[in-house]
Amino acid sequence: MSILRLSVLDQSPVSESSSGAQALADTLDLARLADALGYHRYWVAEHHGGGMIAGSSPEVLIGPIAAATRSLRVGSGGVMLPHYSPLKVAESFSILSGLFPGRIDLGLGRASGTDPMTTFALQRDRRQAAPDDFPQQLAELLAYLDDDFPPDHPFARLAALPGLPEAPEPWLLGSSPQSAIWAAQLGLPYAFADFINRDGAGIAADYRDRFDRGARLPEPRTAVAVWALCAEDADEAWRLTASHRMAMAMLMRGRPIPIPPVDKALRFLDTTGDSGRRRRIVAGDPPTVREGLEEVAREYGADEVIVVTITFDHAHRRRSYELIAEAFGLSSGLRAA
């Protein structure tokens, strides 16, 4: 496997007794840190409804993050395309690309990023359910980005996007087999959400087997997004995961909550007997987390790991990313340079 790239997926978690505004400020703070530490890219998520996540609009967050950093690629992890007009997405990310040349990623997802009622509230036309036409939406969006409409197509003139000649790099995101099939057919780079579905290694292999090398890229490119938390002490690292484990347990019950303090979360988990181990969590001291992330990357055949971390205390999240960077030699390499 080639040198493993490390990146960040930030969902802008809201801690109990804090606020969404503070969570967004923490996102900017963490992006600056990731830039200084030498992470490759920084993606922000799209989630709607509930008090757990403040990241509902990646296209709004990307600009401030890119302006506050120098080397990071910045993008969406991802834009939930079924909510939007493909033209509007193309124009928004074209503008971002024009402002920050060579640094903007457009990660695209099919999921709603929320519950059915919030999905309905996001619809512009509420007379009936929105059609399930993601493949058509995706094809239209790529035609805008590539200026690839037939000359007689009524939308052909709309491909003169505002940020040209700069353009975002499109990625397809997924946690199921169908997304891998579309990514392979279209020759797109593919990012699999292991933190949602830990059984995706076969899906990633299928993506590589089906990949159309003549479409956009000469070879398939796979990234895997993994939930991880690092601390100096392995027991402390696992203790700190309790906040996220309780929040996820409540989310699965249809009751999203802000990220709780560790002690409160531990009491909840002890009372309910819910260990929160249904999804993969890579937690421990620096050598353990490095070994765990490398193992997941090998499992997926990925050359990039996108690290997802949620803690109650923002300082612990910062420290986790620092320790992971040090474990992989990012920080020391940056200081040496």
- Residue 25 DSSP class: H
Residue 200 forms part of a structural domain? yes
Mean pLDDT across the stretch 78-99?
95
Model confidence pLDDT, tens digit, residues 218-263: 999 999 999 999 999 999 999 999 999 999 999 888 889 999 999 9
Model confidence pLDDT, tens digit, residues 307-323: 999 999 999 999 999 99
Q: What is the signed CA dihedral for 199, 204, 206, 210, rounded to 10 degrees?
A: 160
Residue 306 forms part of a structural domain? yes
Q: Tell me the Cα Rg of the chain.
A: 20
Can you tell me the distance from the alpha carbon of 323 to that of 259, in angstroms, rounded to the nearest whole number? 22
3-state SS, residue 242: helix
Are 134 and 124 spatial neighbours (Cβ–Cβ below 8 Å)? no
Average pLDDT, the chain: 92
Residue 25 forms part of a structural domain? yes
Residue 268 forms part of a structural domain? no
Q: According to the model, what pLDDT value does residue 49 have?
A: 79
β strands within the chain, DSSP E: 5-10, 41-44, 73-80, 104-109, 169-174, 190-193, 222-230, 282-284, 304-308
Q: According to the model, what pLDDT value does residue 130 have?
A: 75
Model confidence pLDDT, tens digit, residues 150-175: 888 989 888 899 999 999 999 999 99
Can you tell me the distance from the alpha carbon of 167 to that of 313, in angstroms, rounded to the nearest whole number? 36
Can you tell me the distance from the alpha carbon of 71 to that of 103, in angstroms, rounded to the nearest whole number? 8
Residue 267 forms part of a structural domain? no
Residue 108 forms part of a structural domain? yes
Structural domain harbouring 147 = 5-227+284-336
Q: Indicate if the pLDDT at residue 334 is higher than 50.
A: no
Residue 263 forms part of a structural domain? no
Closest CA to 107 of 7, 196, 189, 181: 189
**Whole-structure pTM value:** 0.93
Q: According to the model, what pLDDT value does residue 50 have?
A: 73
Q: Indicate if the pLDDT at residue 121 is higher than 90.
A: no
Number of domains in the chain: 1
Domain of 207, CATH number, reads: 3.20.20.30
Residue 20 forms part of a structural domain? yes
